[in-house]
Amino acid sequence: MTEVQSPMTDTQHAMVHPKNRPVRAVGIQQIWVAAGGAIALVGFFLPWIKTWHIVEMGSDSGFSFARITDSVSSGNSLAILFVVLIAAALAVLSALYAGFTTLDARSLKGVCAVQITLAVAAIAVIALTVPSEIDTWTGLVIEYQFGIWMTIIGLAIVGFGGLVGVMSKKVE
């Protein structure tokens, strides 16, 4: 009886194991991440707050907040809010990268973990910076506008999409 040799080595067998199989990640989670990042990007440039005294004084967007060089509350620049803009842009770019390249399951989960980190960091920057700055504005009536909510909701969608990608059984 003759033994038939397989043309594939043990290393090649390991490479086609389901955990190592390349995955095209144009899944719903990457669509959520891209959409959430786009929503956050748009929201960053829309009005975040409206200020009133006796008459309406104006409104500020996330971009105009980030350009403030001398904060009333701390004397520091609010340029840290550009982290929100950068995080939203990186979320969109990472979703496009994961969607248009073929990644193995481990790499895809790594991309999703980065997306979660970006979303959490950006929401934390908003939560820690904007209210503390606004609290120092005495004598003004301040009203949050839809831009800040759009940005936060977009970033939450990014985080949720990344979480779905990390938890997905499909990419294991």
Q: In angstroms, how far is the first alpha carbon of the chain from the final one?
A: 40
Residue 123: inside a domain, yes or no? yes
pTM (2 decimals)? 0.76
- In the predicted model, is pLDDT for residue 81 greater than 60? yes
Two structure tokens written together for 89:
């842009």
Residue 2: inside a domain, yes or no? no
Confidence of residue 130 (pLDDT cuts 50, 70, 90): confident
One-letter amino acid for residue 102 of the chain: T
Q: Classify the phi-psi angles of 65: left when phi > 0, otherwise alpha if psi is within -120 to 50, otherwise beta.
A: alpha
Q: Classify the phi-psi angles of 75: left when phi > 0, otherwise alpha if psi is within -120 to 50, otherwise beta.
A: left
- In the predicted model, is pLDDT for residue 119 greater than 60? yes
Confidence of residue 44 (pLDDT cuts 50, 70, 90): very high
Residue 135: inside a domain, yes or no? yes
What pLDDT score was predicted for residue 149? 94
- The total of structural domains in the chain comes to 1
What pLDDT score was predicted for residue 171? 47
Highest mean pLDDT: which range of 14-18, 63-67, 128-132, 147-151: 147-151
Two structure tokens written together for 171:
């990419």
What pLDDT score was predicted for residue 65? 79
**Cβ contact 62:81 at 8 Å:** yes
Count each helix (H run) and each strand (E run) in the chain, helices first. Answer: 6, 3
Residue 91: inside a domain, yes or no? yes
Q: In whole angstroms, how far apart are CA 6 and each of 9, 12, 13, 30, 51? A: 7, 11, 10, 38, 75
Residue 18: inside a domain, yes or no? no
Residue 117: inside a domain, yes or no? yes
Residue 92: inside a domain, yes or no? yes
Average pLDDT over residues 38-45: 94
- Rounded Cα distance, 30 and 118, in Å: 14
**CATH code assigned at 114:** 1.20.140
Two structure tokens written together for 132:
């503390």
Q: State the chain's mean pLDDT as an integer.
A: 79
